[in-house]
Amino acid sequence: MDKKGKALVTGANRGLGKAIALELVSRGFDVIAGVRNPDTAIDLLEQARSLPGTLVLERMDMAALGDYQPPADLRILVNNAGYRGPYLPIEEAGMDEWRRTFDTNFFGLIDLTRRAIPALRNHGHGLICNIGSLGAYVPLPFYSIYRTSKVAVAALSEGLRIELAPFGVRVIEIPIGGVDTDMLRTGIAHRPPEAIEYELYRPMAQSQAAMSETARTNALAPEIAARNVVDEMFRPGPLRRACDPNAVNGLPHIDATTEEERLQGMLQKFGVESA
């Protein structure tokens, strides 16, 4: 694929999405930065102004795309936008929270991707990069809403890779293990899960909070992670790629173990036996 052209990055107003957008602009791409509120991304325009490529802001709510259509000359789609709500026991998580998570993390991603495929296919060498989560492959309590949405993205990535291969459209998934963004700093790596408020689940939630040191200490700066992500866009290889230390260590472990082995290992960490 030519290392130039038009790219669309969702969730580009902050964190990893912002860093990926700027990295692409620095390499000469013309980037559309999809953001829910352009007023929150004015500094992104300023930072991109002196770089080789160009950047424009596009108001984009992944849960309500309306009649938005990606440009006909799109070369790269980076599905980065995401939402993660509270860490709750499944029985206490209302359906509104499930729908809110899936509307952004999965259904919105699917809708935008299906609209972008014709443009990517017409070039014969397009790319879809789905930003996933290493947590999709790790059975964790109180993480099921967000994790399930990312498992769905992983399955979707597999299907897309096969379906679009005949047209020269590449698909990669980047499962994030630890990048120093607002999502990480407000996440379980830095605070106890909301499940700790429920007496029945409090012991497990307290143990969960004590297990979060690794993600916190190994977190990579967004700018470095973004450089790694964009490098992977132009590198041949497997569907799933690591961009941070936790994923570098975690993906080989996932490949070398079964789902049941990982489940039993997690049960042992929490000191419980499978029913």
Q: Which residues are catalytic?
A: 146
First to last CA, the chain: 51
Quickly tell me which residue has 């980047």 as its tokens: 174
Q: Are the C-beta atoms of 194 and 142 separated by less than 8 Å?
A: yes
Q: Are the C-beta atoms of 152 and 110 separated by less than 8 Å?
A: no
The DSSP symbol for 240 reads B
Strand, helix or coil for residue 9: strand
Burial of 24 (0-12, 13-18, 19+ CB in 10 A): buried
Q: Are the C-beta atoms of 20 and 44 separated by less than 8 Å?
A: no
Strand, helix or coil for residue 74: strand
